[in-house]
Structure formats: C-alpha cells, structure tokens
A and B are shown apart, each in its own frame.
Chain A
Amino acid sequence: MTVDDSKVTSAARATGAADGARDINVTGLGKRYGAAHALHDVNFTLRDGEFLTLLGPSGSGKTTTLGIIAGFVDPDYGDVQVGARSIIGMPPRRRNLGIVFQSYALFPHLSVAANVEFGLRMRKVPAAERERRGKRMLERVGLADFAQRTPAQLSGGQQQRVALARALVINPTALLLDEPLGALDRRLRQQVEIELKGIQRETGVSVLHVTHDQEEAMIMSDRMAVMNAGRIEQIDTPTNVYKYPSTRFVANFLGEANLLDVNVRENDGARAIVNYADGSSGAVHVSSAHGTGGSGSQGTVCVRPERMHFASDDEVAENAVCGTFVSCLYLGASLRCIVQALGQELIVTCSDHAAFTSPEPGALVRLAWDAADGQLLANES
C-alpha cells in the first residue's frame, strides 16, 4: 500500500505501515490511594495517529490514567512505554506529550502568542523559528488576530483553542485531552468536537482523550475504552462498543439496554444458545469468549431497545418472548414502548411509520430479535 505522505490519514497511520515507535503502550497499570484501588491492571495501546477515548463516570480512573501517562501521578505498578522505552519515572518535561486541561491552564500573565511559544522557548528553539511556528499554529486554530491578547480577554472557546495550539506546537508524541470540552456550553461543544477531530486528522497526532460524555466519545473517537471502578471494561470502536457491549456496565453506560437473565446452554465463543426466564430458548451473539460462562452457567443477554420488534404470532424468530403491553410514548421520530415480559419491564423503540399501530395497554404482545442483536455479556468479576 503506497500512500502519498501528505494524505496519510489517521486511520491509515493507525493501521498502515506503523512500526510502533510512537505507540504508547500501557501495561498492567495500577494505583492505590490508601486502601482504595484507583486503577487496577489497566492495559491498552494508543496507536500512532489514533484518537482513543477513555470514557467512564467520575472516579472510574480515567483521569488517573491520563495523569500517570503525563507524569503527574506515579503508578504503584505497571508500565507506560513509548515504543519500547519505558517513561515511568521520567519527569513530565521530558515526555514530550501535549496536554489540554479542562480549565485550559493557560498562563494568565503571558500573551496568547507567548503561551503558544512557551514549549518552544523551553526547547531553546531560536526566536525567529519560534515565532514562525507559533504564528502558523495560531493560524491553524483561527486565532492569528488574537496573538497579542491575554487569555483573560478571550472567550472560553478561544482559550480552549489556544490551549490546543500550545500543546500541538511542540509536535508532541501524543496529545492528552483531559475533558477539554467540559467547560463549554452544549452548542459550542458540538462545533469544537468537529474542529478538534479535523485538526487531529490534519496533523495526524495521536490523541488520548478523557471524558464522561458518551456522545462526545462516540463522535470523535477511533476507539474508545470504557472504564469503570479502575478497570477498562471494554476497548473497541464506538460502533462495536455500542453494538456488542461486553459487560452490563458498558451496556448501561452507553445508551439504553434491556438486560435479560439467561441460562447458557451452549457457548462456542461466537454464538450461544440460551434459555430465557420464561423457558423459551434463543440464539445470541458472543463477541468474545473472555468472561462469558460456558454451558450450564448463568448469564446476561443485552438487547438494545431499537433492536427488538413487535412480531406477529406466526413470525419465525431466533429469539421471541411474550409479554403484556404497558404504555407507549410518542417521541417524534420514534416511539418508545414499555412491555412487561420475563418478569421485568422491557423497552422497545420503533420508528414512527404508518404500519405501526400501538397495541392497547394490557394487550398480549410478542417481542422478537435476531441472534446478531442479542449479546451475551461477560459475567461480573
């Protein structure tokens, strides 16, 4: 595969001829605060050119992970390597990582230009080149006219872009973003998400992004790692994480999920035959053998509400359960129905088309879904 260098996209760099020298490998990372495990055996690789998001609720360890990679927090065990070289114990100033903080952490006493040039000054880059590179970076983020202002004179969105320019101008091995959009209002945020992704594509820099906002993670990431209680629960592309969640936590954290208790009858690591609570049997997908129970074990199946549908009595389906219709909410583009089945309330969303008529409350209904849409989850450890 021959690609013109200037056209190398992040995706191509991630999968293409990468020799791994700029990959950041995190292995077996752990951190304790007193008796509490802030991090427990965290492993992942930030591939060169990739946009990887650590997604999780507060306290899940994502910021600690970022702090360890940046060098502000010391891990209790585990290793962080750039290429094959460990950077544990290396002071932050030698790590060559660009960091954008949630509060931006701009130098309030320096002009925008001096903020952007700070890293070059520390690297003893000659003044002329420093100014040239600083100016070019400010142009790239669209703030060339603001070079002589102080950060206090800029809006939140502009400050955020100065912080981004300041981190990018040093040609960092990777860009670490610590909830950089957290302080922006919602509309601005969506715009910045797209801008940020664009700049990342242009520059081809690897990005490790920390957020608790799932939408933000879905929009920007090449891959995302969902964290919970100091562990990575799943790491995959946004589509796969949504479609094939591997744990209850991931299923619940991203979007809505119907979680059904099952008995596993067969499990070959790709497909499983299960029995639902009402005794009916069905076939579901298994994305990884890791952590799912073999035959005879208890398990959980996740089905997204939009993947369930109302089926007629004679429809042949891989999975089908009967239940009582409870209620239906009209949401414009879709309908959100609640059905009592399998001893719990199931949520079914269907698009608003003419063919669908809402059953009467109390009516008996039949719900069905394909094997590919049911996902046998890993058991909680």
Chain B
Amino acid sequence: MMALRTIGPDVSGQSSVRAAAVAARRGRWGNLLWLLPVLALYAAGLVLPLGITVRRAFELGAAGWSDLLHNSLFTGAALNTVIDSTGITVVAVLLAYSLAAAIWRGGAIARASLTTLVVIAFLTTVLVKIVAFNALLRDNGVLNTLLQALGVIDGPLHLFPGRPAMIVAMVQYVVPFAIFPILSVMVRLDKRVEQAAESLGASPWHVFVHVVLPLTLPGVIAAALLVFVICTGFYVIPATLGTPRDQLLANVVALYALQLVDFRVASAVAMVLVVVVGVLTVLYQRAERATR
C-alpha cells in the first residue's frame, strides 16, 4: 500500500481500479480516433469511387451485360489477358526460379551482386523499361540492326509494336516480383536436408527433384499467383508496346472511359477485373502463408 500511495494520488486501491477500467473503456473508443484519418482518406479515394463504379456497372442492366459478352473488344481483351498472363507466368516463374537458385547457391559476392541487380531492375520505373524495349525491338532498333549486321536475317523482324515486344517487356517487369517469394523459401531450406539426401545416395538431379523442388514449390505457387495478378492488371505496357489488337482488359477500361466516354461499360469491365483479381489475391495470400 505504501508503494501504491507513492505512485498514485491518495485514492483507495479499489476505486483506483474502477477508475482505471472506466478510463480504459473510454480510451478504447477514444482510440478509434487514430483510425479516423485513414477512414476519411479511404472514403474519398477508395470506397466512394468504387461505389460509383459498382453503381454504373449495374446501370448497364442485363441487356448491356449480354451485349458486353458479345462485344469483341471485351472478349478479345479477356482472351488476350488470360492467354498472355498464363504464358508470361510460366516463362517468368522459370526465369525467376533459375535466378533465385543462382542467388541462393552463389557465394557471398555473387549473391550480393545478383540481388543488387535484381533490386535495381525491380525499382526501375516501368516507363524506362518501355523506352528500353521500344529502342531495342523496333524495326530499326538495336536487335534488328544487330541481327541484320550479322547476316542472320535479311529484313527486320516486326517485334514492335506488337505482341512480342509487349510480352517480352511484361516478362521482364514481373520476373523480380517472382524472384522474391521463391528466394525467401529457398534461403529457409535446411542445407542438411539436402546433405541427408546426398548421403542416402541421391544424385544432384535426384536431390533437386525429390527434395529441393517439392520444398520450394510453395514459393513457386505464390510467385505464379502474384505474377498472374500483376499481369491481369497491366495497362501501361500493352498501351505503349502493343498494337490495338493486343490490348488487355485494363486497356479496354481506359478505352471506354477516356475515348468512348461510356462509363457504364468501362465500369462493368473494371468490375470483372476486380472480381478476377480478388479471387486470385485470396488464393495468393493462402499460398503465401503456406511458404512461412
């Protein structure tokens, strides 16, 4: 009691406990104030905008939606999105896996320098990448000039604008994203599990197939889902490196909103995109949790 009295003002033990409880309850709801600014910001920049989009999408009505399903702009873009995203995911994950393995297996210097380069590629803005691939792949670009000078081809390969340039740039963009989840699984692998397999007679190939690959698979799945989600949202790269035929769903949203000024269709397509990405994101989070 003496000790208590020296801390608090002279209130009896019991009432001070009750006062604390009251203060705690008041403090608890008072703490809601901490969240108010972010709620206000999200209301203005996320919730109300999405609300309008949803309402517009519904204004389209059943007829409008069925028109949309027969709209070749939409169906073409949807098909492009699925095909391109799938292909890019496969290629990017393969490249990312090999690069992650190199970082994982390399010595200290190789590890540091490779990771640094990947991070630089990761942080470089997509616009610089577009400029680079434009300059590299156009008809009179670096690659065609080089191949013609070497006599490999007679005329220029038409890579830009078009799907080749677009796909190459999108793969390049997503590879760093795919490396991170794979690498974080790899570095957590116990070296001794591999040594155990080796000591039991497994060749390097068998160690990879029976031990390393199954144990890094969660990282691969997480990487693939992440890449697929990013691919479905691509706007800038198709807009700058693809032809009108190569556009993806996000570009159709922009086309309807900014050029055709039909916000109902734009909103409907945007909703399709949100639903697809939402489902994939939930799957990704499950997969990502499995890597821990």
Contact flag (A, B; Cβ within 8 A): yes
In the complex, are the beta carbons of B195 and A122 less than 8 A apart? no
Q: Is A101 an interface residue (CB 8 A)?
A: yes
Residues on the A chain within 8 Å of B198, using CB: 71-72, 91-93
One of A102-110, A142-150, A299-307 contacting the partner: A102-110
- Given the contacts A107-B211, A109-B215, A122 and B196 also touching, CB distance less than 8 Å: no
What is the CA–CA distance of A71 and B195 in the complex, to the nearest angstrom? 9
Q: Which of A94, A105, A109, A123 contacts B196 (CB 8 A)?
A: A105
Q: Is B185 an interface residue (CB 8 A)?
A: no
Q: Which of B195, B202, B210, B211 contacts A99 (CB 8 A)?
A: B195
In the complex, are the beta carbons of A119 and B201 less than 8 A apart? yes
Residues on the B chain within 8 Å of A92, using CB: 195, 198-199
- Given the contacts A103-B190, A109-B215, A170 and B195 also touching, CB distance less than 8 Å: no
Q: Is B197 an interface residue (CB 8 A)?
A: yes
In the complex, are the beta carbons of B202 and A122 less than 8 A apart? yes
What is the CA–CA distance of A93 and B206 in the complex, to the nearest angstrom? 11
In the complex, are the beta carbons of B199 and A70 less than 8 A apart? yes
Quote the shortest CB–CB distance from B289 to chain A (angstroms): 16
What is the CA–CA distance of A167 and B200 in the complex, to the nearest angstrom? 7
Binary contact readout A73-111 vs B (1 if CB under 8 angstroms, 0 otherwise): 000000000000000000111111111010101111100
- Given the contacts A105-B192, A105-B193, A108-B215, A123 and B201 also touching, CB distance less than 8 Å: yes
What is the CA–CA distance of A34 and B196 in the complex, to the nearest angstrom? 27
Residues on the A chain within 8 Å of B192, using CB: 101, 103, 105
Q: Is A369 an interface residue (CB 8 A)?
A: no
In the complex, are the beta carbons of B197 and A118 less than 8 A apart? yes
What is the CA–CA distance of A71 and B214 in the complex, to the nearest angstrom? 24
Which residues of A from 93 to 139 have beta carbons under 8 Å from B?
93-99, 101, 103, 105-109, 118-119, 122-123
Residues on the A chain within 8 Å of B199, using CB: 70-71, 92-93, 95, 97-99, 167
Quote the shortest CB–CB distance from B164 to chain A (angstroms): 39
Residues on the B chain within 8 Å of A109, using CB: 214-215
Chain A residue with minimal CB distance to B196?
A105
In the complex, are the beta carbons of B202 and A101 less than 8 A apart? no
Q: Is A243 an interface residue (CB 8 A)?
A: no
Q: Which of B190, B195, B210, B214 contacts A118 (CB 8 A)?
A: B210
Which residues of B from 174 to 198 have beta carbons under 8 Å from A?
190, 192-193, 195-198
Q: How many residues of chain A get a CB closer than 8 Å to chain B's CBs? A: 27
Give the one of A70, A93, A98 with max B CB within 10 A: A93
Binary contact readout A3-16 vs B (1 if CB under 8 angstroms, 0 otherwise): 00000000000000
What is the CA–CA distance of A106 and B197 in the complex, to the nearest angstrom? 9
Quote the shortest CB–CB distance from B191 to chain A (angstroms): 9
Quote the shortest CB–CB distance from B283 to chain A (angstroms): 21
Q: Is A166 an interface residue (CB 8 A)?
A: yes
What is the CA–CA distance of A107 and B198 in the complex, to the nearest angstrom? 12
What is the CA–CA distance of A92 and B191 in the complex, to the nearest angstrom? 14
In the complex, are the beta carbons of B215 and A99 less than 8 A apart? no
Q: Is B203 an interface residue (CB 8 A)?
A: yes
Chain B residue with minimal CB distance to A121?
B210
Which B residues are within 8 Å of any A CB, using their own CB? 190, 192-193, 195-203, 206, 210-211, 214-215
Using A105-B193, A107-B196 as known contacts, list a sample of 10 further A-B pairs with CB atoms less than 8 Å apart, ordered by residue number in A.
Answer: A70-B195, A72-B195, A92-B195, A93-B201, A95-B199, A101-B196, A106-B193, A107-B211, A109-B215, A122-B197
List 30 A–B pairs whose Cβ atoms lie within 8 Å, in order of A's numbering. A70-B195, A70-B199, A71-B199, A91-B198, A92-B199, A93-B198, A93-B201, A93-B203, A94-B201, A99-B195, A99-B196, A99-B199, A101-B195, A105-B190, A105-B192, A106-B193, A106-B196, A109-B214, A109-B215, A118-B197, A118-B200, A118-B202, A119-B200, A122-B197, A122-B200, A122-B201, A122-B202, A123-B201, A163-B196, A167-B199
